[in-house]
A = this chain, B = another copy of it.
């Protein structure tokens, strides 16, 4: 938050001003206090990233940092009150996602410990198991690995090959890794620090495979000082070594050879085995049971969505602050070079991303609300709300994590060579966040889940005309307005009729026009897909698979369109809560930019499907150009409203040094001109000699 001399270079007649104090407080949202605590911690010298550390030192430092978090952060809020938590799922995530500003390795290693290892005991274990196993894990007495992914199976968890076979003679399970591809891989805490793991394996008893279940398994001896010792018998560990980022985490592989696990270490909330080896589960369908177990671990995706947003905000804070100070090439004036943010290209590169990041922020708020309701509000944990939550997370996590990479890269390029220096942090953050797009659910796979859900909802509307779809929760909670419409095709015809007649750019600014265009796209894509895929139900498996495969790209496009709409609706709804009128005016322009930028990206679709005439389509781009000019003077305020202190951004070029350098250089030339000592340019001399 630097003073920028060049803030309002263009003034519109009705020139509103953002109330940044108001907006930055407002954006902190429902768990403002927890976010503030986390932000203070995230700039604590003890916790911030030191990019110079080698991998080994970085790993030890992050482990030590986690111990600080146990006592000073709010990392245990999500856990049961009786065990020292606060039963506050949303608050736990809100604080956690801010930690990315300190060091993504710290954030993700915390995520491994509390968001995965502890959360698995919490959500998949019985109360007895929680009482027995959770406390030590929560307090980091037992650092733990979350042993789900295998070398051979990441996205397809149902097909993992590790087996846990019940031995009725000894009354325990025998854990085995049958071949190399079945080694657990990429597990934080597995290479060095973990002394236990939650291991996912095919539960086999009495000759029947009951599918993937989780087992609590000690994996290493514990030294007298509490650190991890050698692996326990039957357990092998390998180090994943250097990675593209997140090198503060000791990712590694684990394999099991006839490792015996006591019967009561099967985390038994959704399935248990008795003395005789008889299996029982509260959920009869093996498929639904599997998805319920996995679904209870959705918090990883929710928190990545938030953390990706924080990283994007840091990137834009750096690039726009620098872009408001840096000058290059003379343009309008002979002596003054042009401020980068005044270039159309610079605006085009950064401001639509700023709009996207705002949209992502408001959508994440809704996601966190829903997450909190399911896990911490009485009576809200139903199969339907869980499914809504999982779908929303599966739509937003890919969107925000890809956006973070794109934003960090665009910011880095917009800062030129300075953006490549580690001290300005853009490159380091990008390296660390790279893996966010494929872990906790590969983005492409997640979007296919969303696409399939859209198809299911579409099919349902024929059975149930009141079909409420994914926004169910929000509809129930906020009866005032529908966050977005489900794939019902009501509005399509009216758009078809009126689309070609509407031509003025001003109509594109209208909320209802944007909503119609964005909604119609999702509806139509889903409708077409459903029609194209209908024959699959009557085909043999191989043909059906081929048909489905031939529409995979469209399925993903539909899911992306849905995520766009979701964010647009969340943004639009959030505008209602902005009490400051000027601020709301500017944010409405930002929302318009998000809407039109989204429509512009898919302009060919609107044209091909007759939703827009060529003339109207051209006005989309020109209206965006107008919006960019209108928003340009507010860019710094919009960034400052993210409320990220220098201690969180920690980019040298965003601290005002560039402004100082520019001032010094311009003062030098001014003085030289005034003194009459300035050398005359050869060109000018030749001109005057003619």
Residues of A within 8 A of B (CB): 51-52, 54-55, 149, 151-156, 159, 161, 178-182, 185-186, 202, 204, 207-211, 240-245, 279, 286-287, 328-334, 337-338, 342-345, 348, 405, 409, 412-413, 416-417, 419-423, 426-428, 430-431, 434-435, 437-439, 442-444, 541-542, 545-546, 548-553, 556, 603-604, 607-610, 614, 617-618, 625, 660-662, 664-665, 668, 679-683, 685-686
Q: Closest 7 CB pairs between A and B? A: A244-B427, A242-B422, A603-B604, A332-B542, A331-B545, A607-B607, A209-B679
Identical copies of this chain, number? 2
Q: How far is the CA of A402 from the CA of B556 in the complex (A)?
A: 24
Known contacts being A331-B549, A617-B604, is A422 close to B243, with CB within 8 Å? yes
Q: Is the CB of A552 within 8 A of B604?
A: no
Across the interface, A549 reaches (CB within 8 A) one of B151, B344, B546, namely B344
Q: How far is the CA of A148 from the CA of B545 in the complex (A)?
A: 59
Q: Is the CB of B208 within 8 A of A679?
A: yes
Q: Is the CB of A179 within 8 A of B209?
A: no
Across the interface, A52 reaches (CB within 8 A) one of B242, B405, B660, namely B242
Q: How far is the CA of A686 from the CA of B285 in the complex (A)?
A: 9
In the complex, residue of chain B having the shortest beta-carbon distance to the beta carbon of A428: B244
A sample of 24 inter-chain contacts (CB < 8 A) reads: A152-B665, A180-B660, A181-B661, A181-B662, A181-B664, A182-B665, A240-B421, A241-B421, A243-B421, A244-B428, A245-B420, A245-B427, A286-B686, A331-B542, A333-B541, A343-B549, A344-B549, A344-B551, A345-B444, A348-B553, A420-B438, A603-B608, A604-B607, A608-B618
Known contacts being A54-B54, A607-B607, is A434 close to B420, with CB within 8 Å? yes
Residues of B contacting A443 with CB < 8 Å?
A: 413
12 additional A-B pairs beyond A159-B330, A244-B422, beta carbons within 8 Å, are A179-B661, A209-B680, A211-B681, A245-B420, A279-B682, A286-B682, A343-B552, A417-B435, A417-B438, A427-B431, A427-B434, A607-B608
Interface hub of A156, A243, A420, A427 (most chain B Cβ within 10 A): A420
Q: Is the CB of B431 within 8 A of A244?
A: yes
Q: How far is the CA of A346 from the CA of B334 in the complex (A)?
A: 52
Residues of B contacting A332 with CB < 8 Å?
A: 541-542, 545-546
Q: Is the CB of A625 within 8 A of B550?
A: yes
Within the complex, what minimum Cβ distance (angstroms) separates A292 from chain B? 15
In the complex, residue of chain B having the shortest beta-carbon distance to the beta carbon of A271: B682
Q: Is the CB of B662 within 8 A of A422?
A: no
Residues of B contacting A154 with CB < 8 Å?
A: 328, 416-417
Residues of B contacting A683 with CB < 8 Å?
A: 286-287
Residues of B contacting A427 with CB < 8 Å?
A: 243-245, 431, 434
Residues of B contacting A682 with CB < 8 Å?
A: 208-211, 279, 286
In the complex, residue of chain B having the shortest beta-carbon distance to the beta carbon of A279: B682
Q: How far is the CA of A583 from the CA of B141 in the complex (A)?
A: 63
Within the complex, what minimum Cβ distance (angstroms) separates A425 from chain B? 10
Known contacts being A549-B331, A607-B604, is A241 close to B422, with CB within 8 Å? yes
In the complex, residue of chain B having the shortest beta-carbon distance to the beta carbon of A151: B661
Q: Is the CB of B431 within 8 A of A156?
A: no
Within the complex, what minimum Cβ distance (angstroms) separates A671 from chain B? 10
Within the complex, what minimum Cβ distance (angstroms) separates A605 from chain B? 9
Q: How far is the CA of A22 from the CA of B293 in the complex (A)?
A: 54
Q: Is the CB of A328 within 8 A of B681?
A: no
Q: Is the CB of B434 within 8 A of A209?
A: no
In the complex, residue of chain B having the shortest beta-carbon distance to the beta carbon of A549: B344
Residues of B contacting A54 with CB < 8 Å?
A: 54
Known contacts being A427-B431, A682-B210, A683-B287, is A243 close to B553, with CB within 8 Å? no
In the complex, residue of chain B having the shortest beta-carbon distance to the beta carbon of A406: B409
Within the complex, what minimum Cβ distance (angstroms) separates A208 from chain B? 6
Q: Is the CB of B331 within 8 A of A661?
A: no
In the complex, residue of chain B having the shortest beta-carbon distance to the beta carbon of A447: B345
